[in-house]
Structure 1
Amino acid sequence: MSTISVTPAELKQQAQVYIQSKEQIEQAIQRVNSMNSTIAEEWKGQAFQAYLEQYNQLYQNVQKFEDLLENINQQLNKYADTVEERDAQDAQSFGF
């Protein structure tokens, strides 16, 4: 049997790293999208269109990664809640 040595509070704190990372990625995407709009005003032609097509394809992978980070955050928080609830239930079983 394994021993769990992490507290629910620690799990929730660690879960925050995932959501913060997702937010940082979203901010970076916003900056890149803004830059793409600026570039689009001056860079015309097939090369730019090819760049945008590639960017949009890769962006889909970034969105999947953002979804993964959010999912991990939710799973860690849910597990932390489960551990907390279980500990409270176990504590009640020792009452007189």
Structure 2
Amino acid sequence: MNAETAVPREELSVTEARDHFSERVNRAHYSGEITYVTRGRRHQRAAAIVPADLVEHYEALLDERDARIAAERLADVEAGRSETVSLEDLERELGL
């Protein structure tokens, strides 16, 4: 299986997803299935019902990225490649 077919996926309209919500939540929880919820005439994806651990993993990746960026910015300040602005100066500059 390639990355596109590794997890069962289905698309349902908002109405269909509402009518089968409990079933879709169970499929996400027990089978790892992703259900995309679509809307409009073009059936554009608007949301998804996904396993909670998938979202938790995604959030952990975002936290790691944010920590890496913060460390890089701090290193820039400490090395003199970037400078800081006090909150008071920023407020004054913005007229707050």
TM-score class, shorter: 0.3 to 0.5
TM-score norm. by structure 1 comes to 0.39
Question: Which structure has more RCO (C-alpha within 8 Å, separation ≥ 6)?
Answer: 1
Bigger helix share? 1
Bigger strand share? 2
TM-score norm. by structure 2 comes to 0.39
